[in-house]
C-alpha cells in the first residue's frame, strides 16, 4: 500500500472519524490486498465498477463488513460533446476506425478481445474495399482533442466490452506470467493460460461498458461492437451493430454499413437514447454518490472543526509549495555534498595508493624494479598503438 498511500497519510486517514469513501477501477488484481487496505483505512463506501451480480465474488460482504458497495460506470457521457458540430456520416473519410493496445495476458481471454478484434476485422474488411484506420501499436495511440476529431471522422468505430476474465486475488498469476515472459518473451497466450490460470479464466467475468461507447454515441458515430450486455445501456441493432465474436456475420454488418439510411437510424437512436439519456450523465453519478452517502452517514461522523475558508485553502497550498521547494533544495544540497565527499575520498585514496606504491618500490630490489618498469612501458606503448590511450 505504501506505493499509493504513504504511512503518514495512511495513519491520518485511519484517525479520521468522518465518512470515508473509495473509488476504484481496474480492480482485477491484488483483490485481497485491496480489501485489507479498505478495512485498515476504515472505508465506509466502496464505489466499484463491478456489477452487483458478481459483487460478492469480488468483495464478499463478510470481508468488508458495514461497507456499502455501490456499482458505478467506468465513464459517463462527456457533456461538452453533445452540442459539438460533427460531419455527416457520408462526409467522413474513414469507414471504420479503431485504436487499442495489447493488454497483458494475465487479464484472461476476455480482455484479449480488445486488440484481437482489430486484426480480424481488417482481414475481413479487405474483401469489401473498406477504408480502415486501425492500430494496436502504442505509437499510434491518439489522445485528447485529436481522439475526438478522429472519432468524428469515422463512419463507424469498432468496440468491445471493458473488463477481464481473470480475478487475481493474490497477484500470483501476474507474477508467474511476468516471470515466464522474462524468460521466454515469445510464449503464447494459450501456453501461459494453460500453465498459470486455466482454472481461473472465465470463472468470473468482469464485463462492463467502455466510456468510448458514450463518446461514439455523442459524436454520432456508428458502433460495431462484439455482442455483450454493455451494462444494460446499449441494445443490439437498436444502438449498435452487433458483430459475432467469430465474425461469421460480417456480411450482415456490411449491409448496414453500406446502407446510409439504416446506419443513420441506429446512430440517431444511440444519440437520443444513450448520449442524451440523463442516467448516463456525470450528474447522475453525482446523485448516486449523494444517495450512498446519505444511507451510510451517521451524526457522529459530523465534522468537529469548521471548514476551511477559500483564503485559508490558498494559504495552505502556498505553504505546501514552499515546503516542497525547501525540501527539493535540501535534497539538491545533500546530493552535491555527497558528490563532493565522494570526490575527496577518491583523491585521498589515490594519494594513499600512490604513496604506498612509492614506498613498496623503494623496498623492492633494483633488478625487480627495472623489470617491472619495462613491463609497464611495454603495456603503455601497446595501449597507445591500438588507440586506447589516444
Q: Are residues 123 and 247 in the same domain?
A: yes
Q: Are residues 137 and 108 in the same domain?
A: yes
pTM, full prediction: 0.77
Contact 226, 245 (CB under 8 A): yes
What is the share, in percent, of the chain residues with pLDDT greater than 90? 71
Judge residue 291's burial from the number of C-beta atoms within 10 Å of its C-beta, 0-12 exposed, 13-18 middle, 19 or more buried. exposed
Q: Given a cut of 50, is residue 25 above it in pLDDT?
A: yes
Domain boundary residue among 251, 269, 301?
301
Q: Are residues 270 and 290 in the same domain?
A: no
Residue 249 banded pLDDT, cuts 50, 70, 90: very high
Contacts of 180-186 with C-beta under 8 Å, sequence gap 24+, read: 181/105
pLDDT tens column, 265-304: 999 999 999 999 999 999 999 999 999 999 999 998 988 8
Say if 48 falls within a structural domain: yes
In degrees and rounded to multiples of 5, residue 142 shows phi and psi of -125, 135
Q: Give the whole-angstrom CA distance, residue 254 versus residue 371.
A: 88
Contact 200, 108 (CB under 8 A): yes
Of 160, 163, 113, 156, residue with least CA distance to 270: 156
Q: Are residues 148 and 179 in the same domain?
A: yes
Q: Give the whole-angstrom CA distance, residue 200 versus residue 167.
A: 7
Per the structure, the count of domains in the chain is 3
Q: Give the whole-angstrom CA distance, residue 44 versus residue 56.
A: 17
**Pairing of the two strands 162-164 and 206-208:** antiparallel
Lowest mean pLDDT among 116-125, 254-263, 363-372: 363-372
Cell output for 117: 478484434
Domain boundary residue among 270, 301, 332?
301
- The residue segments making up the domain with residue 376 are 310-386
Q: Are residues 243 and 176 in the same domain?
A: yes
Q: Are residues 121 and 255 in the same domain?
A: yes
Say if 2 falls within a structural domain: no
Cell output for 47: 464505489
Q: Are residues 31 and 174 in the same domain?
A: no
Amino acid at each position: 500500500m505504501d506505493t499509493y498511500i504513504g504511512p503518514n497519510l495512511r495513519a491520518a486517514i485511519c484517525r479520521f472519524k468522518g465518512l470515508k469513501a473509495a473509488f476504484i477501477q481496474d480492480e482485477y488484481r491484488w483483490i485481497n490486498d485491496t480489501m485489507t487496505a479498505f478495512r485498515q483505512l476504515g472505508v465506509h463506501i466502496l464505489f466499484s465498477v463491478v456489477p452487483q451480480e458478481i459483487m460478492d465474488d469480488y468483495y464478499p460482504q463478510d470481508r468488508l463488513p458495514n461497507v456499502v458497495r455501490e456499482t458505478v460506470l467506468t465513464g459517463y457521457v462527456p457533456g461538452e460533446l453533445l452540442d459539438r458540430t460533427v460531419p455527416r456520416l457520408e462526409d467522413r473519410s474513414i469507414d471504420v476506425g479503431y485504436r487499442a493496445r495489447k493488454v497483458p495476458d494475465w487479464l484472461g481471454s476476455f480482455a484479449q478481445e480488445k486488440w484481437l478484434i482489430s486484426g480480424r476485422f481488417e482481414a475481413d474488411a479487405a474483401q469489401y474495399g473498406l477504408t480502415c484506420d486501425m492500430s494496436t501499436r502504442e505509437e499510434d495511440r491518439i489522445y485528447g482533442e485529436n481522439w475526438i476529431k478522429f472519432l468524428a471522422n469515422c463512419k463507424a468505430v469498432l468496440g468491445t466490452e471493458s473488463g477481464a476474465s481473470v480475478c487475481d486475488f493474490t497477484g500470483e498469476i501476474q507474477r508467474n506470467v511476468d516471470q515466464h515472459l522474462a524468460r521466454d518473451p515469445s510464449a503464447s497466450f494459450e501456453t501461459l493460460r494453460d500453465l498459470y490460470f486455466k482454472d481461473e479464466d472465465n470463472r468470473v467475468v468482469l464485463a462492463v461498458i467502455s466510456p468510448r461507447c458514450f463518446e461514439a454515441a455523442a459524436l454520432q458515430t456508428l458502433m460495431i461492437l462484439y455482442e455483450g450486455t454493455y451494462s444494460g445501456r446499449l441494445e443490439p441493432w437498436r444502438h449498435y451493430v452487433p458483430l459475432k465474436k467469430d465474425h461469421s456475420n460480417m456480411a450482415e454488418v456490411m449491409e448496414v454499413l453500406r446502407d446510409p439510411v439504416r446506419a443513420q437510424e441506429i446512430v440517431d437512436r444511440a444519440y437520443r437514447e444513450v448520449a442524451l439519456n440523463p442516467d448516463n450523465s456525470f450528474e447522475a453519478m453525482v446523485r448516486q454518490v449523494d444517495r450512498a452517502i446519505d444511507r451510510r452517514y451517521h451524526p457522529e461522523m459530523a465534522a468537529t472543526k469548521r471548514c476551511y475558508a477559500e483564503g485559508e485553502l490558498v494559504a495552505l497550498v502556498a505553504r505546501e509549495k514552499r515546503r516542497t521547494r525547501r525540501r527539493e533544495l535540501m535534497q539538491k544540497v545533500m546530493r552535491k555534498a555527497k558528490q563532493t565527499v565522494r570526490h575527496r575520498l577518491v583523491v585521498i585514496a589515490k594519494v594513499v595508493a600512490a604513496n604506498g606504491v612509492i614506498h613498496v618500490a623503494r623496498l623492492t630490489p633494483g633488478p625487480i624494479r627495472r623489470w617491472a618498469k619495462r613491463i609497464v612501458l611495454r603495456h603503455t606503448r601497446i595501449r597507445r598503438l591500438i588507440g586506447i590511450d589516444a
